[in-house]
Amino acid sequence: MPFSHLSRSLILRRAYLAFALLLAPLLRADDQAMPLAIHGNTVWTMAGKPITDGLVLVRDGKITFVGPAAGTAYTADHRVLHAKVVTPGLVDAHATGGLTGMLNADGDQDMLEKSAAIQPALRAIDAYNARDPLVAYVRSFGVTTVNTGHAPGMLVSGQTMVVKTHGRTADEDVIKPAAMIAASLGNNGTTAEAGKSPGTRSKAVALLRAELIKAQAYVAKQKLEDETKRPARDLNLEVLASALDGTQPLLVTAHRQQDILSALRVAKEFSLSILLDGASDAPLVLEEIKSAGVPIILHPMMARSFGDEQNHSFETANTLKAAGIPFALQSGYEAYVPKTRVILFEAAIAAANGLSFTDTLASITIDAARLIGVADRTGSLAVGKDADLALYDGDPFEYATHCTATVIDGTVYPGENYD
């Protein structure tokens, strides 16, 4: 059967997109270093009201002006871009991209090490592949910043990092090399293998407590005046010590209400700074979460609703907003294909199920930036901030809309619309 015109167009577009994404890291020509003048029919700054017929000026990778285009002049050396809608670059509050690779094969899947239940010393930056096509792929939809790293699936699977999606190298693109410590309670934190620990929820929480107590003792002994009595370095305990002193928050994946309450209990016992990840059952324990002052990086909207996530809902984001609980959305991770998602599409589902446009956009820009600790640099459009922007040819949350360009630190990358 011959291909339809639509099928041919789609194939050609995807082929061109794949070629452009592979070429994008090589785009370091002079025009990439030029100052920018970005016009938008609507500019959503997330630092104030949206601007109709807005203008964002960029020089040396920083924003130098945000405001109405009318009456605003700029020099002829500016490269001029136009879009119907301009937003801050999207911020994915929790992902595994760069450790999870595009091929979905053993050779590009470094997000989960299963040899031990507790491995906080594993650093995302040591595995992150900035040039994996998946990084360029999410960037093509406007994603400029990602909190990525070791996935749920072990009690303590490792650390996350916050990185820009330039696609150069991990060391060039990183913002925070040791952002959070990834832990999991519930089925994600136990093992189904007979005889392997932890096999139950109570065992998992007991092991986590025991390691935190060891870390407390380790810190105390490291301060002994007699150096001969100080213990040898222990990388796992050093990382857990950073959770104890608040240097690194604990990102706890917990979906069922009893696992959420266990996370809150442990955090209170050890005075830990934590963020809840996933939190499918959050509507069942809203008061407890709010009382504890714990923010949530909510499960992907399109995650599969089974097991611990059986109470997952498209409306939970709206419920959290109404309850006054800080939250952000994420692309997340699951053991089955597709492994990771596009945060823009996840947000669109929340917008279609009760969350306002402004609140939805905030959940993948400024609110996400606050939760992962980079709001001083990105997440909103303001003078002095990093020039991270996403340009769209319509409402970003409409399926038919395309990202026409992504700007990171003033560098322009192609979006996904090449028609």
Ordered alpha helix ranges (H), 99-173: 133-139, 170-173
Q: What is the DSSP letter of 232?
A: P
> What is the CA 127 to chain-centroid distance, rounded?
17
Q: Is the pLDDT of residue 110 over 50?
A: yes
Q: What is the pLDDT of residue 93?
A: 98
Q: Which amino acid appears at position 380 of this protein? A: S
Sign of the Cα pseudo-torsion (210, 215, 218, 223, in order) = negative
Q: What is the pLDDT of residue 416?
A: 83
Residue 62's nearest CA partner among 408, 406, 375 is 408
Confidence of residue 32 (pLDDT cuts 50, 70, 90): low
Confidence of residue 22 (pLDDT cuts 50, 70, 90): low
Question: CA-CA-CA-CA torsion for 396, 398, 399, 401, nearest 10 degrees?
Answer: -50
Residue 204 and residue 282 in contact, taking contact as beta carbons nearer than 8 Å: no
Helices (H) and strands (E) in the chain, counts: 12, 16
Cβ-based burial of 106 (10 A; exposed 0-12, middle 13-18, buried ≥19): exposed
Q: What is the pLDDT of residue 60?
A: 97
How far is residue 113's CA from residue 24's CA, in Å, rounded to a whole number?
31
Tokens of 238: 């050093």
Q: Is the pLDDT of residue 14 over 80?
A: no
* All domains of the chain in start order, with CATH: 5-89+382-414 (2.30.40.10), 90-371 (3.20.20.140)
Q: Is the pLDDT of residue 27 over 80?
A: no
Q: What is the pLDDT of residue 9?
A: 44
Confidence of residue 131 (pLDDT cuts 50, 70, 90): very high
Looking from the CA of 170 toward its CB, the CA atoms found within 13 Å total 19
| Secondary structure element (H or E) that encloses residue 94, with its range | strand 90-95
Confidence of residue 23 (pLDDT cuts 50, 70, 90): low
Q: What is the pLDDT of residue 194?
A: 64
Residue 12 and residue 331 in contact, taking contact as beta carbons nearer than 8 Å: no
Mention every residue, 6+ apart, whose C-beta is less than 8 A from residue 293: none
What percentage of residues in the chain have a pLDDT greater than 70? 91
Q: Is the pLDDT of residue 8 over 50?
A: no
Q: What is the pLDDT of residue 105?
A: 87
Q: Which amino acid appears at position 271 of this protein? A: S
Query: What does the pLDDT look like over 371-397, one tens digit per residue?
Result: 999 999 999 999 999 999 999 999 999
Residue 38, strand partner residues: 56, 81
Residue 232 and residue 164 in contact, taking contact as beta carbons nearer than 8 Å: no
Tokens of 3: 């291909």
Q: What is the pLDDT of residue 387?
A: 98
Residue 275, strand partner residues: 251
How far is residue 123's CA from residue 167's CA, in Å, rounded to a whole number?
19
Q: Which amino acid appears at position 292 of this protein? A: A
Residue 76 and residue 413 in contact, taking contact as beta carbons nearer than 8 Å: no
Residue 412 and residue 81 in contact, taking contact as beta carbons nearer than 8 Å: yes
Bond preceding residue 326 cis, omega within 30 of 0: no
Q: What is the pLDDT of residue 274?
A: 98
How far is residue 173's CA from residue 181's CA, in Å, rounded to a whole number?
20
Mean pLDDT value of segment 391-404: 97
Residue 359's nearest CA partner among 402, 313, 298, 286 is 298
Q: What is the pLDDT of residue 172?
A: 98
Query: What does the pLDDT look like over 137-166, one tens digit per residue?
Result: 999 999 999 999 999 999 999 999 999 999
Sign of the Cα pseudo-torsion (268, 274, 275, 277, in order) = negative
Residue 275 and residue 180 in contact, taking contact as beta carbons nearer than 8 Å: yes
Query: What does the pLDDT look like over 183-220, one tens digit per residue?
Result: 999 999 997 676 789 999 999 999 999 999 999 999 99
Residue 243 and residue 251 in contact, taking contact as beta carbons nearer than 8 Å: no
Sign of the Cα pseudo-torsion (321, 325, 330, 332, in order) = negative
Q: What is the pLDDT of residue 211?
A: 98
Q: What is the pLDDT of residue 417?
A: 58
Mean pLDDT value of segment 275-280: 98
Angstrom distances, CA of residue 347 to CA of 146, 360, 412:
15, 6, 24
Residue 416's nearest CA partner among 3, 2, 20, 4 is 20
Confidence of residue 82 (pLDDT cuts 50, 70, 90): very high
Q: Is the pLDDT of residue 236 over 80?
A: yes
Confidence of residue 334 (pLDDT cuts 50, 70, 90): confident
Please provide the size of the chain in residues.
419
pLDDT, averaged across the chain: 92
